[in-house]
Every structure is written in structure tokens, then in C-alpha cells.
Structure 1
Amino acid sequence: MNKLLSIFAIVISVLIASCQSDSKKNTTVDSSIMSNQQAPYKSPDECFIYTNNRDTATLLMYGSADKILGELRYNFYEKDKNSGVIYGFLKGDTITVDYKFQSEGVYSHREIVWVRQGDKLLEGNGEVYQDNGNVKFKNKRKLTFGNGVVFTKIKCK
């Protein structure tokens, strides 16, 4: 229950901060993502970690059927840390999410696509564009996977 409340608080905080940002961006959240979630959550459904030298990232996912909600944190050496919430959809072996995050006091929004291969999630890389301040992929069919961040499933704590 505490995790669910934490995620809900993060989502609300991000949305409030987005409304108060200097750029005055309009962001729409699909509330149906949360409407079919099974609550209360005592722990995430799946947990993942990425490590490469001094770079780390963690991903906690809560989901039911084709809908995904979670928390994501990147901590790359000598780069700004960022953390926030993800929400999106699972279709086949592909997970597409919107990542609303804060880095150095600035709130941002970008699209992330992962392909599941067994216990791994391979993050997609490709050409991006900005749409009203949100970073999106130009063509998801041209994404490359496996040459960047690869999350490995771990036991949730």
C-alpha cells in the first residue's frame, strides 16, 4: 500500500510541477492506465537493474495485462541523475511508456521503448523529435535495441 501511495504521490507531484513550469506545457495523462490496476500493491510486480561501470539504473514495474505503471531512475556517472514515473502499454514483447521525470530540478517528459528478451529489457534507441516539449521517437519501427541500456530482471525487495 505504501508503494502505491508513493507512486500516486509522485505522479501527482510531477503533474502539479508540470502545470507550474515556466514553459506552460500541456500534458495529458491517460487515467485509464491506473483504473484497472489491482490494488493494493505490497511490492512491484517486476524489478530490473542496469549496471555498467559507474552507471546504474533501476526500474520497478506494476502492471496488469497490457498496462504498465512504474518508477524509473537513471544514475549515470558524471551526468545528471533523473528519476520519475512511467506509464504505458505492453503489446507482445514491446513495452512503450511515457517517462515523466525530474533532473536537476527540471521536469521533463520522454518516450521509452523496451523489447523483452527473457529476463532482460533492451532499451530502444533512435531518432527523436520534440512535440510540445515532449521527446518522442520519429519512427519506432527503426529503433535499435541492445546497444545501450539493457535491464536485467532481479528479485524485488
Structure 2
Amino acid sequence: MNRLFYIVAIVTILLSACQSDSKKYTTVDSSIMSNQQAPYKSPDECFIYTKNRDTATLLMYGSADKILGELRYNFYEKDKNSGVIYGVLKGDTITVDYKFQSEGVYSHREIVWVRKGDTLLEGSGDVYEENGNVKFKNKRKLTFGKGIVFTKTKCK
């Protein structure tokens, strides 16, 4: 078994164990990574965002055009959230689904980054909710570089 399977399995089990009837929960769909051949030993890339007292970290595992990873936002005096991402890489654009927990509530939203050298610029724009999932209305109209900018860092 590869490390990716263990990561997805552990996260799914942990999220299931924390679930109560009053909380919304969606499972992690690992089928997007099902055709992977190479085992994952450590993250392929790591990124960090820091501004004043706000931080965010991103660990990405991937092969070719598929991405899997862990994402954590820690904004000063705001709810922390952390979870898993999975998605695709097309050219310089990474589009992922982010399944996360914040204050005991499970949520799901779409994130789009554009890679510029050793940085990832997080996209922002109008969103809508569909079956509990937050998605962008029009990805072609996203704004990049005005919000969170992740910088590549050494993986630990």
C-alpha cells in the first residue's frame, strides 16, 4: 500500500470518529488519486503563508496532473480550520476541493491557485453553494494575488 492510501484512510477514520448527528460530514473521495503508481514518502511540495499573526500551511503530494494534500489556516482571532485537499493541475492552475473541520463543523469548498514561480496565488471571487459544497460561480473571473499568497518552503 502506498502512503497516500494511509493518509486518506487515517483522515477519513478520524473525521468519522469525531462526527455527531448534529454535524454535517462529507467523506473524502480518494478516487481521483486511484490511478497513482508511485508510493508517497513525504510531501512533494510545501508552502507557507504568513502575514502579521495569520498563518497557513499547505503540504502537497502529487504525480503528473493529480494533487492530494493537507491544508491548514490559522488566522488570528478567527476560527482555525484544517483538512485535506484533492484536485487537478492544468498548466499553471491548481483546482482542489478542500474538506475541512472548523469549530467542530465539517465543510467543503473549492480552492483555485495559480502558480507563479515558487508562489501559489489563491483565487477569490463570487461563490455559490450546491448540496453543502461552496464553489466558484465563474473560475474565469477569479482575482489572484490580492489575498493569500503561499510561498514554497522546505518540507519538514
Question: TM-score if structure 1 supplies the norm length?
Answer: 0.88
Correspondence for 2:95: 96
Aligned residue runs from structure 1 range 114-125, under 5 A: 114-125=113-124
CA distance in 1, matches of 2:17, 2:124: 28
Identity, % of aligned positions: 74
146 and 25 in structure 1: CA distance in 2 versus 1, 3 angstrom threshold: same
Could you tell me which runs of 5 or more consecutive residues in structure 2 were left unpaired when the two chains were aligned: none
Amino acid at match of 1:74: Y
Task: Return closer, same or farther for 1:103/1:2 CA change in 2, 3 Å cut-off.
Answer: farther
Are residues 18 and 86 of structure 1, via their aligned partners in 2, closer, same or farther at CA, if it must alter by over 3 Å? farther
- Residue of structure 2 in register with 1:108 after alignment: 107
8 Å CA contact 2:26–2:106 kept in 1: the answer is: no
Ranges in structure 1 where 5+ consecutive residues have no aligned partner: none
* Structure 1 residues 37 and 82, CA gap change in structure 2 (3 angstroms): farther
Number of matched pairs: 155
CA RMSD for the aligned pairs? 2.5
Distance in 1 (alpha carbons) for counterparts of 2:59 and 2:155: 8
1:127-146 alignment runs, 5 A limit: 127-146=126-145
Secondary structure at the aligned position of 1:83 is classed as strand
Classify 1:43/1:28 alpha carbon distance in 2 versus 1 (closer, same or farther; 3 Å).
closer
Asked whether the equivalents of residues 110 and 136 of structure 1 are also in contact (C-alpha less than 8 Å), the reply is yes
In structure 2, do the counterparts of structure 1 residues 153 and 104 end up closer, same or farther at CA, with 3 Å as the change threshold? Answer: same
Change (3 A) 1:38 1:2: closer
Deviation at 1:139, TM superposition (A): 0.3
Task: Give every structure 1 segment of 4 or more consecutive aligned residues whose post-TM-superposition deviation is greater than 3 Å.
Answer: 1-4, 11-14, 16-28
TM-score, normalised to structure 2, is 0.88
8 Å CA contact 1:47, 1:58 repeated in 2? yes
